[in-house]
Amino acid sequence: MLKLQFVPYNEIQDLNSAKRITKLLKIVKDEKIILLEGRLKSSEETELISRTMQEISNKFKGIELSVINPENKDSSDIVHKIKTAFLNMILGNRQGFTIIGPASIVKEIKQDPNKIELLTQEAKR
């Protein structure tokens, strides 16, 4: 059975980086795929991957992670750039969303501008 857990940004916004990572790893270790509103800081992503590598075992095979950001980096429209800068200032890391799943279930995450494909496999126990 595939289990998804939505984590709104307000659930992690007041946590420090270590507690955020611990909370997210606990969910993933329960064999759930996290749909996180917003995104982690790049330093938090790095630490999450590092902690994951330290905790790999026969039971926990690691994680798959993908960040979906609505920001269009190719846009040369000055109005769009100003709107994006304003939204980033107001919303911070709430824009976009992050998918984090156990490697034992999430085989691959493919993304393109129009869709996201989450390829899963049955967890082996």
- Specify if 125 maps to a domain: no
Rounded mean pLDDT of 31-56? 93
* Domain ranges, residue 58: 4-120
pLDDT at 105 over 80: yes
The pLDDT assigned to 71 comes to: 59
The pLDDT assigned to 44 comes to: 94
The pLDDT assigned to 125 comes to: 58
Q: How do residues 57-87 score in pLDDT, each as one tens digit?
A: 999 999 999 888 765 555 567 776 777 677 6
pTM of the model: 0.78
- Specify if 83 maps to a domain: yes
Domain count of the fold of the chain:
1
Query: For residues 85 and 5, which has the higher predicted lDDT (pLDDT)?
Result: 5
- Specify if 48 maps to a domain: yes
The pLDDT assigned to 92 comes to: 62
pLDDT-based confidence at 97, cuts 50/70/90? confident
The pLDDT assigned to 75 comes to: 55
DSSP per-residue letters across 6-72: EE-GGGTTTS-HHHHHHHHHHHHHTT-EEEEES---HHHHHHHHHHHHHH--SS---EEEEEE----
